[in-house]
């Protein structure tokens, strides 16, 4: 998983293997050591009950002294929707509080086929 943070967007880019892992219903987590602390990035397809607002605010930044954590809350339906897209640069997106939040599968190593959009009359 790679996470790109810019002024107006946070993009989570995962591999096809990580997508398949998320399809099992488990959370995907990656730790990066920054200085003396870990920075943890998580995609959670089962938001906890205390995060009732995840649809309005699917991105959480939790800061403490031991580790900082950036969590993208989503649902299994959204993960399946991402999988059903096939090989696509589009991915899933949400616009929350002036911030674009994107979840994409890295197409460079994606073995899935592109989904062909049918034209009218086909």
- What residue segments make up the domains of the chain, in order of their start? 2-109
Instruction: Report which of residues 114 and 120 the model is more confident about.
Output: 114
pLDDT digits (tens, 9 = 90+) for 78-114: 899 988 887 777 888 888 888 888 998 887 877 767 7
* One-character DSSP codes across the chain: -EEEE-SSEEEEEE-HHHHHHHTTTPPEEEEEEETTEEEEEEEESS--TT-TTTTT--EEEE--SSEEEEEEE--HHHHHHHHHTBS-S--EEEEETTEEEEEEE-GGG--SPBPPPPPTT-
pLDDT digits (tens, 9 = 90+) for 24-59: 999 999 999 888 888 888 898 887 766 666 666 666
């Amino acid at each position: 998983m790679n996470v790109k943070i810019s002024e107006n967007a946070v993009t989570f880019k995962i591999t096809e293997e990580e997508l398949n892992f998320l399809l099992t219903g488990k959370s995907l987590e990656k730790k990066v050591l920054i200085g003396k602390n870990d920075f943890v990035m998580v995609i959670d397809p089962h938001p906890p009950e205390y995060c009732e607002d995840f649809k309005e605010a699917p991105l959480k930044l939790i800061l403490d002294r031991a580790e900082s954590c950036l969590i993208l809350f989503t649902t299994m339906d959204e993960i399946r929707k991402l999988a059903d897209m096939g090989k696509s640069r589009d991915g899933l997106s949400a616009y929350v509080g002036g911030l674009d939040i994107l979840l994409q599968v890295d197409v460079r190593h994606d073995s899935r086929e592109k989904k062909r959009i049918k034209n009218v009359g086909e």
